[in-house]
Amino acid sequence: MQMTRDEIYRSRREFFNNHAEMWLDMWYKDRATGRYDKHGMDFERLFSLVPLKPGDHVLDVGCGTGVLVPFILQRITTKGMLYELDFADRMLETNRQLHKEENIRFVLADAESAALAKASCDSVVCFSCFPHFDDKAKAMINLSGILKPGGTFVVSHFDSSEGINKHHESCHAVMHDRLPDQSVMRDLLKAVSLTIDLFIDEPGFYCIIATK
């Protein structure tokens, strides 16, 4: 029997909740060294492209257990503010246990409806989460509204769109979650007046940088 959109949404959120405690081990731990730096070079590449500076306010959408936290805090410093947003409470709770810095606010909300102040963030980063948004156009409207004029919008993965979509197809809970084709992504960004500065979709790395 086919699942309804609502059932798909709930089973996706349950999947992420059920994997919260092991998330960092699953994706970021280098088994040989035991350190959580398996994608160190990829993160350096990503953050060389995102123009973060001391004092910035940044929204990390679908933050999970907070793998981006150290990279963002290092750049925005204690003068900045980081919003860690996720719709899965156990992901957010694990994140909160790992990151005690005073300039982090944890937000349990859906990207489509999160009620952060309009035009309050210098950057909105969607790392490894965009395919999971149920209504991508609605999420774009909400997230771009949170961005300041001149702010930076980022969508990134450490694989190509083809690789990401293949990976999701093999996992029941997220098998419907797709990173749209480049033309659809361009239309989604254009519809909310974001200008694309960079669009990389290559084996091992996907990154869109756009300006409001």
Ligand X SMILES: C[S@@+](CC[C@H](N)C(=O)[O-])C[C@H]1O[C@@H](n2cnc3c(N)ncnc32)[C@H](O)[C@@H]1O
**What is the nearest approach in angstroms of ligand X to the Cβ of residue 182?**
21
Q: Which residues pair with 107 in a beta bridge?
A: 85
Specify whether the CB–CB gap between 79 and 122 falls below 8 A: no
Question: Which three-class secondary structure state does DSSP give residue 121?
Answer: strand
**What is the nearest approach in angstroms of ligand X to the Cβ of residue 34?**
18
Q: Smaller CB distance to ligand X: residue 67 or 210?
A: 67
Cα dihedral 60, 106, 73, 27, rounded to 10, equals: -60
Q: Smaller CB distance to ligand X: residue 55 or 155?
A: 155
Question: Which three-class secondary structure state does DSSP give residue 152?
Answer: strand
Q: Smaller CB distance to ligand X: residue 93 or 112?
A: 112
Residues forming contacts to ligand X in the complex (CB under 6 A) are 16, 23, 27, 62-64, 67, 86-88, 91, 110-112, 127-129, 132-133
Tell me phi and psi for residue 206, to 5 degrees.
-135, 130
Q: How far apart are CA 137 and CA 175, in angstroms?
A: 20
**What is the nearest approach in angstroms of ligand X to the Cβ of residue 33?**
19
**What is the nearest approach in angstroms of ligand X to the Cβ of residue 86?**
5
Q: Smaller CB distance to ligand X: residue 91 or 194?
A: 91
